[in-house]
Amino acid sequence: MAIATSTLTGYQGPVNTTSAEQIVRFAITLSGNYGGAATHGDTLSFANVYGLQSNAIPSRVFVFQQPAAGVAPGNCSAIYCPGTTKNNGVISFANAGTELTQGAAYSGATATAVWIVEAYFPVYL
């Protein structure tokens, strides 16, 4: 099972700022299945992202926490590792620079944090 995606509240859809690149932003919900030891993360598929026009692998992806005001952020960082298609990359989590293991990936603040993804896709005209 892959990470679930959802459009951010108030976000009006993908932004195309250069006519050659499409930027999408959305919140993710962790699947609870970090994958096997060889995957190094939880699969993130862009298949159901509203308005995405590109079938290419994203050129850049930023994954960050966005806790509500008054809520302390967790101590984890996340990074997107591209796959062979836009639908089989993974998000890998680390705590203080050490990759979390399969069993520890969603413990503590990682599981409850609000995670946001910003992805840049090439658009071929």
CATH label of the domain that carries residue 41: 2.60.40
Residue 105 has pLDDT above 90, yes or no: no
Q: Tell me what the mean pLDDT of segment 9-35 comes to.
A: 68
Kindly report, residue by residue over 41-86, the tens digit of the pLDDT: 888 888 888 778 888 999 999 999 888 788 877 778 889 999 999 9
Are 14 and 77 spatial neighbours (Cβ–Cβ below 8 Å)? no
Q: Is 68 left (phi over 0), alpha (psi -120 to 50) or beta?
A: beta
Name the residue range of residue 19's domain: 4-122
Are 75 and 63 spatial neighbours (Cβ–Cβ below 8 Å)? no
What's the structural domain count of the chain? 1
- pTM comes to 0.79
